[in-house]
């Protein structure tokens, strides 16, 4: 299996995504020929430019030299090439020099790049998200200056939230911003900052939350852009250390110290967290794409290996390939179905997020926004989870060989482990789904989800389809569970104890729906037949 086969499989699932037809109706520049050409070129770039860096970067890692971070050999050149080729600016608004393509097209390409070198793409993800954040929150002059440089990969950006005593509990942040003679000055420590410092760009902008008043919780937080330099002068930002991590060794995770550093206020004072969610939501979708990219690589390797490795059978005859053994076929089938169902789900979410901006009616846009809000915690968590679980399953197919560094599966496993932690842990996604998407929104996203799924599962060509009938029953069971969870608002502790189970039930419903779409394209069956041939 190759990057090209992943691209082709993705295109087939995109064509089977009903929302894509609506996006094309609203965007005349998304003809099939153009889309195929873009995705094919993304696959070539990922395979020839990014993939050769992946293992080398894992083994070389990053280091601090004279107070600055040095990234693995080849990272700086690849980052620049990524920007120069226009991949970073794909969905950046045209008014800021981007290409303004629909988010779904960016999400088609992203898993290819993540598969190529997920560590390097950590820098790309925060930089791209910062472009969208600045387009919404920054003054026109700041946005014009920064977005063009960021989207071309001349500059880079980070997201600075966590502190030693405030991780997920953002309301306990202590970094302070003080207005002094018309200029904001920021002091404090930030940790877990991916690519908090590096040698790949000439300037780094930190999108940073800091407390600007004494209001409790998140109400006193404001959002700032803190550049690492102003002209030739270094700003007061220091790298204290880079973390020694289980995986993602090519991505420097930094602890940063801000000592009276100059900052630029973004948006309204005290509205920092809501504004930052422009960036966070894109990075949560990116996390789903990261996991999908690694899962795609892992299952491809497992199918390839199982189609070549010979063991067992009649000792008087040549050994068959292990893909012909029933238990190995089961493992491959389960891995492929889980991966392709996730791929379909990512495309479904991305089209819905596009329609939340593109639909012509205000009510339709509001519905799509509610639906995307419902789907996003699921894609973030279970996309991330797939990167780990599918890599783990692939190692099982390889046996002892998969446990060695002769194959990249053990690296995929290590790289993926953190993905259900950053950008909101599994528990936080479960709480978000229950308390915000179900309770606070009155189940609007749930109702839209169920309606959309049932319409799709009872469409043309599905009469008597056993898979569709199974999916409809899963949806019915999930609707009943949702009613039970809705009724538990008066017992929040009891409900929160069950939030994780509810999140997993929601994904079971989503993936059952998507599995029918996958079956209609035949991609799972084709992959299994190719492995066993």
Q: Which residues contact 457 (CB under 8 A, 6 or more apart)?
A: 468, 471, 472, 475, 513, 516
Q: Name the residue among 108, 58, 117, 107 with its Cα closest to residue 82.
A: 117
Three-class SS of 307-366? CCCECCCCCCCCCCEHHHCHHHHHHHHHHHHHHHHHHHHHHHHHHHHHHHHHCCCHHHHH
Backbone angles phi, psi at 283, to 5 degrees: -75, -25
What is the C-alpha to C-alpha distance for residues 246 and 269, in angstroms, rounded to an integer? 38
What is the C-alpha to C-alpha distance for residues 52 and 431, in angstroms, rounded to an integer? 39
| Contact present, 266 and 137 (Cβ < 8 Å) | yes
Name the strand (E) or helix (H) holding 160: strand 155-160
Give the dihedral of Cα atoms 53, 54, 57, 59; nearest 10 deg.
Answer: -130
For 135-175, the pLDDT digits (tens) are 999 999 999 999 999 999 999 999 999 999 888 889 899 99
Average pLDDT over residues 354-380: 97
Instruction: Give CA angle at 353 (221, 300), nearest 5°.
Output: 105
Average pLDDT over residues 93-104: 94
Burial class (CB in 10 A: 0-12, 13-18, 19+), 533: exposed
What is the C-alpha to C-alpha distance for residues 305 and 315, in angstroms, rounded to an integer? 21
C-alpha distances out from residue 343 to 50, 348, 506, Å: 21, 9, 17
pLDDT for position 152: 96
| Contact present, 153 and 92 (Cβ < 8 Å) | no
User: How much is the mean pLDDT over the chain?
Assistant: 95
What is the C-alpha to C-alpha distance for residues 65 and 49, in angstroms, rounded to an integer? 26
Domains identified in the chain and CATH numbers: 3-151 (1.10.540.10), 157-270 (2.40.110.20), 279-532 (1.20.140.10)
pLDDT for position 533: 60
| Contact present, 201 and 227 (Cβ < 8 Å) | no
pLDDT for position 214: 87
For 34-85, the pLDDT digits (tens) are 999 999 999 999 999 999 999 999 999 999 999 999 999 999 999 999 999 9
Q: Is the dihedral of CA 268, 272, 273, 276 positive or negative?
A: positive
pLDDT for position 278: 80
Residue 198 DSSP class? -
Q: Name the residue among 532, 402, 518, 424 with its Cα closest to residue 17.
A: 518
Question: Which tokens sit at 159?
Answer: 């997201």
Question: Which tokens sit at 425?
Answer: 């842990």
pLDDT for position 58: 98
| Catalytic residue set | 423
pLDDT for position 396: 98
For every residue of 71-136, DSSP letters joined together read PPTTHHHHHHHHHHTTSTTTTS-GGGTS----HHHHHHHHHHHHHHHHHHHHHHHHHHHHHHHHHH
C-alpha distances out from residue 118 to 57, 122, 264, 287, 404, Å: 10, 7, 30, 10, 20
For 259-284, the pLDDT digits (tens) are 999 999 999 999 999 888 888 889 99
For 288-315, the pLDDT digits (tens) are 999 999 999 999 999 999 999 999 988 9
524 pLDDT more than 70: no
Distance linking the first and last C-alpha atoms of the chain: 13
| Contact present, 335 and 409 (Cβ < 8 Å) | no
Question: Which tokens sit at 393?
Answer: 């399953």
What is the C-alpha to C-alpha distance for residues 240 and 347, in angstroms, rounded to an integer? 40
Q: Which residues contact 216 (CB under 8 A, 6 or more apart)?
A: 171
A 10 A CB-CB count for 493 gives 7
Average pLDDT over residues 418-441: 96
Higher pLDDT, 532 or 518: 518
Within 13 A of 528's CA, how many CA atoms are on the CB side?
20
347 pLDDT more than 90: yes
| Contact present, 316 and 306 (Cβ < 8 Å) | no
Within 13 A of 312's CA, how many CA atoms are on the CB side?
11
A 10 A CB-CB count for 529 gives 11
What is the C-alpha to C-alpha distance for residues 499 and 427, in angstroms, rounded to an integer? 8
| 63-65 and 229-230 strand pairing | unpaired
Most confident of 206-220, 294-308, 459-473: 294-308
Q: Buried b vs exposed e over 241-256: b needs ≥16 C-beta within 10 Å?
A: ebeeeebbbbbbbbbb
| 253-266 and 237-242 strand pairing | antiparallel
């Amino acid at each position: 299996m190759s990057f090209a086969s992943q691209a082709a499989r993705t295109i087939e699932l995109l064509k089977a995504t009903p929302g894509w037809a609506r996006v094309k109706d609203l965007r005349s520049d998304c003809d099939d020929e153009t889309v195929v050409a873009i995705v094919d070129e993304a696959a070539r770039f990922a395979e020839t430019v990014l993939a050769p860096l992946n293992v080398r970067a894992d083994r070389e890692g990053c280091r601090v030299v004279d107070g600055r971070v040095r990234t693995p050999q080849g990272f700086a050149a690849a980052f620049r090439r990524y920007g120069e080729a226009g991949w970073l600016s794909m969905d950046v608004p045209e008014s800021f020099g981007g290409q303004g393509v629909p988010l779904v097209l960016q999400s088609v390409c992203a898993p290819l790049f993540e598969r190529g070198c997920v560590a390097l793409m950590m820098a790309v993800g925060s930089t791209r998200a910062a472009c969208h954040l600045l387009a919404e929150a920054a003054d026109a002059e700041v946005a014009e200056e920064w977005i063009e440089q960021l989207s071309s990969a001349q500059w880079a950006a980070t997201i600075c939230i966590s502190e030693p005593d405030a991780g997920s509990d953002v309301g306990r942040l202590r970094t302070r911003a003080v207005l002094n003679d018309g200029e904001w000055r920021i002091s404090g420590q930030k940790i877990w900052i991916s690519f908090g410092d590096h040698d790949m760009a000439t300037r780094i902008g930190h999108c940073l939350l800091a407390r600007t008043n004494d209001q409790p919780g998140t109400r006193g937080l404001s959002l700032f852009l803190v550049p690492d330099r102003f002209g030739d002068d270094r700003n007061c930002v220091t790298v204290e250390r880079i973390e020694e991590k289980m995986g993602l060794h090519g991505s420097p995770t930094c602890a940063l110290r801000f000592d009276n550093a100059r900052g630029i206020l973004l948006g309204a004072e005290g509205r920092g967290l809501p504004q930052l969610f422009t960036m966070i939501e894109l990075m949560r979708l990116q996390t789903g794409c990261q996991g999908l990219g690694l899962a795609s690589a892992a299952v491809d390797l497992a199918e390839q290996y199982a189609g070549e490795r010979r063991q067992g059978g009649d000792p008087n005859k040549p050994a068959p390939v292990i893909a012909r053994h029933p238990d190995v076929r089961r493992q491959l089938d389960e891995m492929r179905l889980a991966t392709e169902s996730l791929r379909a789900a990512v495309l479904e979410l991305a089209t819905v997020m596009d329609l939340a901006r593109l639909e012509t009616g205000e009510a339709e846009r509001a519905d799509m926004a509610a639906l995307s809000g419902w789907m996003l915690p699921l894609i973030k968590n279970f996309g991330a989870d797939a990167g780990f679980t599918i890599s783990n399953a692939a190692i099982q197919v390889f046996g002892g060989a998969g446990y060695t560094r002769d194959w990249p599966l053990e690296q995929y496993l290590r790289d993926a482990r953190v993905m259900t932690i950053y950008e909101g842990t599994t528990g936080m996604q479960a709480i978000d789904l229950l308390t915000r998407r179900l309770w606070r929104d009155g189940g609007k996203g749930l109702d839209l989800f169920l309606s959309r799924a049932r319409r799709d599962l009872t469409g043309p060509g599905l009469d008597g389809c056993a898979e569709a009938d199974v999916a409809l029953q899963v949806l019915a069971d999930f609707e009943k569970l949702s009613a039970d969870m809705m009724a538990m608002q008066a017992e929040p502790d009891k409900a929160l104890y069950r939030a994780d189970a509810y999140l997993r039930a929601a994904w079971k419903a989503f993936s059952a729906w998507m599995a029918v779409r996958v079956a209609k394209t035949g991609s799972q069956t084709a992959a299994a037949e190719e492995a066993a041939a």
